[in-house]
Amino acid sequence: MQFAFIRPKKYSAWGGDLKAILDLQEGLQEFGYSSFITDDHVKALQAETVIFIGTLFDQSSGLNFMRLMQRDYGCIAFHEDELLYSGASFGFLYYIAQILEKNNGAATDFSLEDLLERPHLIFYYQSKPPDTILKNYDFLKKAKWIIAHSHMEQKTLFRDAPGCNAKIVYLGAGHAGNLQTETTEEFLRFTGLSKKSYILQVGRLSSRKNQIATVIATKDLDIPLVFIAMNNCNPLYERLFVAAVLKWRKAPTILISQHLSASDSIGPLRVIPTLDGNILPKEMLLSAFAHAGLHIHPAFYELPGYTYLESARFGIPTIASTWTSLKDYFTDFSTGKYTLDDRIEYAIPYDITSLTQLTEKKFGQIYPKYPFHPLFSRTPKDIAKDFLTNIH
């Protein structure tokens, strides 16, 4: 059997969804199945099983094409809860922008002090969520099966497309189990930092990833703060991010960027460009995780959450968002019990005071490098086995 994964051109050249597909492909190959990734609907018909990737963009053209060709299809959804996070993330960014640009509203003065006291203020400025799910309703309902990566995502799918055939396969877990066991000091040499001396956040600069909340939460901490960002960032968010660093950070703040240069460094912000504008090599990225004193990622939404799994794998204390599906990976749903130690703690993404308190609590804590947990022993072959079981 051959599988075709249809991944839209609009998706980034790298990301969590692609990691998951590549791990799944590796596992399928061990069972003797071939597969390929394409953005061409016609080419995908060469395979016996056609799988659409993602619901972030309108998939109605794919639905119409498959209807015309009288072919069934499946979907690996990476289905984002737009109703939960999109309006709130905009409201948070809008409020911060008003502070930075010194604009005062008629109803209230925008101030960080007020936001720290009343974090729910952001909901008064939230935006209307995008209508992608409305366009994808028929696409989801007509899919022969849908793979959700967690219980949380499955619930979101059932809410947005009641009656759809959504099943759970923990796609991210195979990647965590497949990480190399030894890391180098390559990242320390690259940045000049020392072991366990810095706070780390990884991900493109965007309101969803919420780097500005990290900047504010660590504003009074004399600890280097490192951001590793991909190049498909939001230009407006990047501008506000730099302004936030200049306004609130005193300690060194390092931005490792694919498109900015060292000459863009200013004040406490030091820009380190990646080599030839490429993403950091896997060994360098794992080195960054392994030597951090803390990993923080207060995302408004994140799936499947590879950065959390990578830091947990290396025993790095981590602050995660309660709005992600990460807890599902470490929850026994037969008992409701959380099954990992406290290396990961959770905060509401816009609650800056809680983020600060957790940062002060968790920075520098020591945990076993490789936790004894079933998730971290899973392999791509295990993922493929679960996948094959759920689509047949």
Residue 357 resides in a domain = yes
Residue 97 resides in a domain = no
The arithmetic mean of pLDDT across residues 30-55, rounded, is 97
The arithmetic mean of pLDDT across residues 191-220, rounded, is 97
Strand (E) or helix (H) holding 100: helix 82-100
Q: What is the pLDDT of residue 177?
A: 52
Residues 200 and 343 in one domain: yes
Residues 159 and 245 in one domain: no
Residues 224 and 136 in one domain: no
Per-residue confidence at 104, pLDDT binned at 50, 70, 90?
low
- Give the pTM: 0.93
The whole-angstrom separation of Cα 125 and Cα 129 is: 12
> Can you read off the two tokens belonging to residue 186?
């390559």
Residues 199 and 61 in one domain: no
Q: How far is CA 259 from the centre of its chain?
A: 20
Residues 295 and 329 in one domain: yes
Residue 209 pLDDT > 70: yes
Query: What is the three-state SS of the chain?
Result: CEEEEECCCCCCCCCHHHHHHHHHHHHHHHCCCEEEEECCHHHHCCCCEEEEECCCCCCHHHHHHHHHCCCCCEEECCCCCHHHHHHHHHHHHHHHHHHHCCCCCCCCCCCHHHHHHCHHHHHHHCCCCCCHHHHCHHHHHHCCEEEECCHHHHHHHHHHCCCCCEEECCCCHHHHHCCCCCCCCHHHHHHCCCCCCCEEEECCCCCCCCHHHHHHHCCCCCCCEEEECCCCCCHHHHHHHHHHHHHHCCCCEEEEECCCCHHHCECCEEEEECHHHCCCCHHHHHHHHHCCCEEEECCCCCCCCHHHHHHHHCCCCEEEECCCCHHHHCEECCCCEECCCCCEEEECCCCHHHHHHHHHHHCCCCCCCCCCCHHHHCCHHHHHHHHHHHHC
Residue 208 resides in a domain = yes
What is the number of alpha carbons within 13 Å of residue 89 lying toward its C-beta?
Answer: 24
Residues 249 and 349 in one domain: yes
Which of 52-56, 155-159, 285-289, 366-370 shows the lowest mean pLDDT across its residues?
A: 366-370
Using the structure block, give the residue that is written with the tokens 């799918």. Answer: 157
Residues 140 and 223 in one domain: no
> Can you read off the two tokens belonging to residue 18?
């692609």
The whole-angstrom separation of Cα 360 and Cα 294 is: 10
- Name the residue range of residue 219's domain: 182-369
Residue 180 pLDDT > 60: no
The arithmetic mean of pLDDT across residues 143-166, rounded, is 96
Residue 149 resides in a domain = yes
Q: What is the pLDDT of residue 341?
A: 94
Q: What is the pLDDT of residue 233?
A: 75
Residues 244 and 354 in one domain: yes
The 10s digit of each residue's pLDDT in 110-152 is 999 999 999 999 999 999 999 999 999 999 999 999 999 999 9
The 10s digit of each residue's pLDDT in 284-316 is 999 999 999 999 999 999 887 889 998 998 899
What value does the mean pLDDT of the chain take? 92
Per-residue confidence at 249, pLDDT binned at 50, 70, 90?
very high
Count the domains in the chain: 2
Residue 374 resides in a domain = no
Q: What is the pLDDT of residue 327?
A: 92
The answer to whether 88 touches 124, Cβ cutoff 8 Å, is: no
Residues 148 and 201 in one domain: no
Residue 265 resides in a domain = yes
Of 275, 273, 322, residue with least CA distance to 297:
322
The CATH number covering residue 150 comes to: 3.40.50
Residue 87 resides in a domain = no
The 10s digit of each residue's pLDDT in 315-365 is 999 999 999 999 999 999 999 999 999 999 999 999 999 999 999 999 999
Residue 125 resides in a domain = no
Using the structure block, give the residue that is written with the tokens 């960054």. Answer: 288
Per-residue confidence at 179, pLDDT binned at 50, 70, 90?
low
Q: What is the pLDDT of residue 230?
A: 79
